[in-house]
Structure 1
Amino acid sequence: MQEFASVAVQPRRRSNAAPRRVLIVSDAAPHRNGVGAYYQDLMHHLGPWVEDIDIISPAIVDGQWQGGWMFPLPGDATQKFCVPNLLRLRQQMEAFAPDVVVIPTPGLFGMFGARYGRQMGARVLVGFHTWYEKLTELYWNRVQGSLTRGYFEVSNRFIFRNADVVLANSDEMVGIAERIGAAQAALMGTPVSPLFLQRTPPRAPTAVRSVLFAGRLAAEKNLEGLLEAARALPQLRFSVAGDGPQRELIETAAQELPNLDYIGWLDREGLLAAMDAHDALILPSHVESFGTIALEAMARQRLVIVSDACGIAEWSELASALLVKSADEDVASVLRRATQLSEFEVAASARQARQAVVQHNQANLSLWLDFITGVS
C-alpha cells in the first residue's frame, strides 16, 4: 500500500470570480481549541486562492492571553472570555478593507466583527461550530445555565441576522442554526493542518495495543467512561493529552492506574508525535459538534474510534473509515471490539481513513472558495 510522502491540496474547481480579501474575526485564540485550530488551518489552505487573508483574535504569548480584557470562562478557567477594544477592532477591520468577513464564535469579537463587517459592505460568513446552549447542561447550575443560555441565544441571533450564510459541520448543527434564525444555513467540512497531511505518516497499525485521547479535559468528553475502560482493559496502554477543568481527575487516575499516562497539553508537533506513537485515537464524547482531533488522527493513518455523538460520524465518506461507539455501548466495549479486529481490518481501516481525509480536505477547500466568492 502506498505511503503518502506529501499531499498538495487543490480545490476540485475554482470560481472565476475575482480573488477576495478575507478577514476572520474570532474570540478563539489560535490552536488553543478546535475552533482556533480550524481557522488557522483554513487560512493556510485558502491563502494561495485569495488576494489576502488575515485574522483578528486574542492571542497567547508566553502563556499570557492578550487582546483585551480577559475573564475566566465559567466552568473552565483554562479558557477566557475576551472583551476587545471596540474602537481598535473597528480600525483594524477598516485598515484591512475586507470583501469577506468570517465569524467563527459568538463572543464579543464575533458579535461586533459581524456588525462592523455588515456596515462595511463585506460578505459575512458565520461558522457555527458549537451549540453552547447544550453544554450548559453539563457545566452550570440552573441559574447559571439559564443566564448563559440567554446570552448565547441573543448572541447567535444577533450574529445570524448580520450573516449572508451560516456554515455548520453537521446536519444537526445546520438544523439548529435554521431554528435559531439563520436565513441561509449550509454544511461545511473541516480543514486539516498541512502538518498532519504532508508529513509522511507511520506504517498503518495491525493491532490495537495503545490508545490516545487528546482534547479538552471537560465533562462533554466522557472522560469517566475512558477511565472505566482503562480499569477494565489493563492489557491496553492509555495516554491522555490536554488540559481543562477535569485535569485533576485524570492526574489522580494516572497515579492509580499503571496503564494510564497523562502527558499534558501538547502543541501541534507534540500532538502529531503522540498520534504516531499510538495505534488508535478515541473520542468518546457525550457532545461533539464535529471532532477535528479525530480527522487529524485519520490523516496520520491511525485507527480512530468515536462516539455516535460526534458530528464526524454523520459524514458518510469519513464514517466508513471510523469505528463508531453507539449510545448504548460503553467505552470498554467498543475498545474490546477494536482489539478483536484482524490485522488486515485494522490496517485497511487506517489506510482508508488517510485517503478519506485527503478527499474531504480538497472538497472543503472548494466549498469555502464558493462561499467566499458568493457562488454557492
Structure 2
Amino acid sequence: MGDEVMVVTTHEGVPQEFYGAKVIGSLSFPFPWYQKVPLSLALSPRIINEVKHFKPDIIHASSPGIMVFGALAIAKMLCVPIVMSYHTHVPVYIPKYTFSWLVKPMWLVIKFLHRAADLTLVPSAAIAKDLRQARVTAANKIRLWNKGVDSESFHPRFRSHEMRVRLTNGEPDRPLIVHVGRIGVEKSLDFLKGVMEKIPEARIAFIGDGPYRKDLEKLFEGMPVVFTGMLQGEELSQAYASGDIFVMPSESETLGFVVLEAMSSGLPVVAARAGGIPDIIPEEQEGKTGYLYTPGDVDDCLNKLVPLLHDAKLRETIGQAARMEMEKFDWRAATKVIRNQQYNAAIWFWRKKRTQLLKPLQWMVKLLTPTHRKLAAGDL
C-alpha cells in the first residue's frame, strides 16, 4: 500500500493540498437543525472520476454526515475496501435535537452502513460495547481506533497571562475552570451552573460555539463566566494552558478529544464517568492523571473539584502526570496502528467476502464448462 492520500470534504475554504494530501471539495448544504454543520453526499461525477483516477487501495469514511453514503457508493462502484469510523453517537443526540421515534430508524441506518463496511473503527471500548450489543455488525469487525493527540500543539508552554486575563474577565488571580467544546444541549453544560453556585470564588470560561450558546449565556447571567466563541490555532492552545482545571460534564462523548487536549496542556481534568472518558482516565489512574465523578452528581463533582481549586501543588502534580500520560499517545503512534494493522484487516475482510461471493459463480462456471480428460494409453 502506498502513502498517497486523497481527502474528500465539504467545499467551504478547502485548500488544494493539506500536508501533502490532495484535497477535493464537495458542494454542501447546511444541516437543518444545526446550520453550522455542512452536509454533502460527495457523489458528483467530478468526485467519482477524481477517486477513480487516484486508484485508492482503501476508502476511509470518517464522517457522521451523509457523505458516508457517498463514500460507500463509490467504494462499491470501484470495488475498493471501505473502513468506517463511528465517532458521533447519533442515536444519543436524536431525542435532544429532533424526535425520539427517529432513534430506531437511525439504528437501522447505522446497521445498514456498518454491515456494508469491511471494518468499523470506534474511539473507545464503551462505544464498541454499545455497537456490539446493538449487533450493528460482526463483533470481530469492530476495532478500537487508538486515541491520538497533538502533544506539540497542546502543551503547557502555551500558558499566557494575557489569555488568562481575557478568560477571567480581568481577574487572573481567581481560580479558573475551563471547558472547551461545541455548546450543544447534549453536552450537559447546564449541570455546571449548580457546581459554580457552590464555588463563588472560582470563574469559568466556555471556549466554543453551538446552538445552545444563547440559552447557556442566559442561564449563567450575572455569574463569573466568559464565553469566547470559537478559538483556533495558538489562541486555542493558550486557552487550554491558561486555565487551572478542565471540566467535562458531557455523558455522550464517544472519546472526548478535548479531554486529551486538556491533559496534554497540563491541566487536571474533572469529568463525568461516562462514554469514552474512562478509557482516557481508567480506574487505576483516577486521582493520579485526573478525576471522574458520577454523572449528574453535583456533590461528587465538587468533592473532586474543590481540593484542586484550593491546592496549587495538587493541580501541578495531577497536571504534570496528565501531560506525561498524553506524551505516550501522540498522533504518529495512533496513525501507525491504523495504517499497518486496521487498514490491512479491512483489506483481508474485503478479500474474504469477495471470495465467498464468487464461490457460487465459480461453481456454476465449473458446472457449465465441459471438462476434457487427457487420454491415457489404455483409452486408445
Question: Residues 328 and 186 from structure 1, CA distance in 2 versus in 1: closer, same or farther, beyond 3 angstroms?
Answer: same
| 1:325 pairs with 2:293 | yes
Contact kept in structure 2, 1:26 and 1:104, CA below 8 Å? no
- Which amino acid counterpart does residue 191 of structure 1 have in structure 2? G
Contact kept in structure 2, 1:106 and 1:156, CA below 8 Å? no
Task: Find the aligned partners of 1:231 and 1:29 in 2 and give their Cα distance.
Answer: 41
Contact kept in structure 1, 2:179 and 2:207, CA below 8 Å? yes
Q: Which residue of 2 aligns with 1:4?
A: none
Q: Match of 1:213, SS?
A: strand
Question: Residues 156 and 357 from structure 1, CA distance in 2 versus in 1: closer, same or farther, beyond 3 angstroms?
Answer: same
Q: 2:81 aligns with which of 118, 123, 136?
A: 123
Q: Match of 1:228, SS?
A: helix
Q: Which residue of 1 aligns with 2:337?
A: 367
Q: Match of 2:79, SS?
A: coil
Q: 1:261 aligns with which of 211, 214, 226?
A: 226
Contact kept in structure 1, 2:41 and 2:69, CA below 8 Å? no
Question: Residues 199 and 228 from structure 1, CA distance in 2 versus in 1: closer, same or farther, beyond 3 angstroms?
Answer: closer
Q: 1:353 aligns with which of 307, 310, 322?
A: 322
Question: Residues 218 and 91 from structure 1, CA distance in 2 versus in 1: closer, same or farther, beyond 3 angstroms?
Answer: same
Matching of residues 37-76 of structure 1 within 5 Å: 53-54=21-22, 56=24, 67-74=26-33, 76=34
Q: 1:224 aligns with which of 184, 190, 206?
A: 190
Q: 1:146 aligns with which of 96, 101, 115?
A: 101
TM-score (norm: length of structure 2): 0.74
Q: Match of 1:301, SS?
A: coil
Q: 1:270 aligns with which of 211, 216, 235?
A: 235
Task: Find the aligned partners of 1:94 and 1:194 in 2 and give their Cα distance.
Answer: 36
| 1:19 pairs with 2:32 | no
Identity %, equivalent residues? 19
Provide the aligned C-alpha RMSD in A.
Answer: 3.3
**Deviation at residue 263 of structure 1 after TM alignment:** 1.2
Q: Which has the higher contact order (CA 8 A, sep 6+)?
A: 1
Q: Match of 1:223, SS?
A: coil
Contact kept in structure 2, 1:306 and 1:313, CA below 8 Å? no
Q: Which residue of 2 aligns with 1:182?
A: 137
Task: Find the aligned partners of 1:293 and 1:368 in 2 and give their Cα distance.
Answer: 21
- Which amino acid counterpart does residue 366 of structure 1 have in structure 2? K
Residues 36-93 of structure 1, C-alpha deviations (whole Å, 9 max, x = no match): xxxxxxx99xx7xxxx745556xxxxxxxxx32413332x333233344532331222
Question: Residues 182 and 375 from structure 1, CA distance in 2 versus in 1: closer, same or farther, beyond 3 angstroms?
Answer: closer
Matching of residues 90-101 of structure 1 within 5 Å: 90-101=48-59
**Deviation at residue 284 of structure 1 after TM alignment:** 0.5
Contact kept in structure 1, 2:247 and 2:269, CA below 8 Å? yes
Contact kept in structure 2, 1:25 and 1:109, CA below 8 Å? no
Moved more, 275-284 or 117-126: 117-126
**Deviation at residue 194 of structure 1 after TM alignment:** 5.6
Contact kept in structure 2, 1:301 and 1:350, CA below 8 Å? yes
| 1:338 pairs with 2:305 | yes
Q: Which residue of 1 aligns with 2:270?
A: 305
Unaligned runs of 5+ in 2: 161-172, 347-380
- Which amino acid counterpart does residue 19 of structure 1 have in structure 2? G
Task: Find the aligned partners of 2:71 and 2:233 in 1 and give their Cα distance.
Answer: 28
Q: Which residue of 1 aligns with 2:116?
A: 162
Task: Find the aligned partners of 1:321 and 1:29 in 2 and give their Cα distance.
Answer: 39
Residues 263-310 of structure 1, C-alpha deviations (whole Å, 9 max, x = no match): 112123222111122111111113111110110111111111211124
**Deviation at residue 29 of structure 1 after TM alignment:** 8.1
- Which amino acid counterpart does residue 82 of structure 1 have in structure 2? S
Q: 2:157 aligns with which of 187, 191, 200?
A: 200
Task: Find the aligned partners of 1:169 and 1:161 in 2 and give their Cα distance.
Answer: 18
Moved more, 190-199 or 308-317: 190-199
Task: Find the aligned partners of 2:253 and 2:11 in 1 and give their Cα distance.
Answer: 17
Task: Find the aligned partners of 1:29 and 1:292 in 2 and give their Cα distance.
Answer: 24
**Deviation at residue 345 of structure 1 after TM alignment:** 2.8
Unaligned runs of 5+ in 1: 1-17, 32-42, 58-66
TM-score (norm: length of structure 1): 0.75
Contact kept in structure 2, 1:136 and 1:149, CA below 8 Å? no
- Which amino acid counterpart does residue 209 of structure 1 have in structure 2? P
**Deviation at residue 201 of structure 1 after TM alignment:** 4.8
Q: Which residue of 2 aligns with 1:61?
A: none
Task: Find the aligned partners of 1:55 and 1:103 in 2 and give their Cα distance.
Answer: 15
Question: Residues 80 and 352 from structure 1, CA distance in 2 versus in 1: closer, same or farther, beyond 3 angstroms?
Answer: same
Contact kept in structure 1, 2:41 and 2:67, CA below 8 Å? yes
Task: Find the aligned partners of 2:254 and 2:75 in 1 and give their Cα distance.
Answer: 26
Task: Find the aligned partners of 1:28 and 1:220 in 2 and give their Cα distance.
Answer: 27
Contact kept in structure 2, 1:210 and 1:278, CA below 8 Å? yes
